[in-house]
Amino acid sequence: MTVAKVTEITAESTESFEDAIRQGVQRASETLHGIRGAWVKEQKVRVENGAITSYRVDLKVTFVLD
């Protein structure tokens, strides 16, 4: 029997939403083992002086418990 857990993380990038997702999953995999998937719960941008300065994603990461 397999049991999985879902945890929520936030990642940010100055490049793009895709880069924020990539960085978030990569960082999570340093601590969480057995990651099976992730989905984007929310996307946000930070704006300063009318320009986008960073892209932020809230991710839900699913991993299998040992």
Task: Return the CATH number at 60.
Answer: 3.30.1660.10
Q: Which pLDDT tens digit goes with each residue over 18-58? A: 999 999 999 999 999 999 999 999 999 999 999 999 999 99
Look up the pTM and report it.
Answer: 0.89
Long-range contacts, 32-36 (Cβ 8 Å, 24+): 32/7, 32/61, 32/63, 33/63, 33/66, 34/63, 34/64, 34/65, 34/66, 35/61, 35/62, 35/63, 36/4, 36/62, 36/63, 36/64
pLDDT band at 1 (very low <50, low <70, confident <90, very high): confident
Count of the separate structural domains present in the chain: 1
Domain, as residue range, for 14: 3-65
- Model confidence over 7-19: pLDDT tens digits? 999 999 999 999 9
